[in-house]
Amino acid sequence: MSKIILEIGDDDLLRLGELRIKEEIEQTLKWMKMKGLLKSIASALSSLKIDIEKEVEMIKEDSWQEYKKELPL
């Protein structure tokens, strides 16, 4: 088995490290923003006066009835 040895200068390593850290920070900030948005959505949904599960069931039933109408019998 052969080994390949790469010599990389300190400045290049530093730039690579800084780039990787920057990417990681940006990704973390995106996830934090997404988490905040999801919390906002969850709190908005919980404050609604409607029963979401009941609404979903009604939509499913309406969709099913419409689908059945389109079936060739």
Domain locations in the chain? 10-70
Look at residue 46 in the predicted model and tell me its pLDDT: 81
pLDDT at position 73 over 80: no
The helix/strand/coil state of 25 is helix
With cut-offs at 50, 70 and 90, classify the pLDDT of residue 48. confident
Mean pLDDT, the chain, rounded, equals 90
* For the chain, percent of residues with pLDDT exceeding 90: 62
The residue-averaged pLDDT of 17-34 equals 96
pLDDT over 80 (residue 56): yes
CA atoms lying within 13 Å on the CB side of residue 67? 6
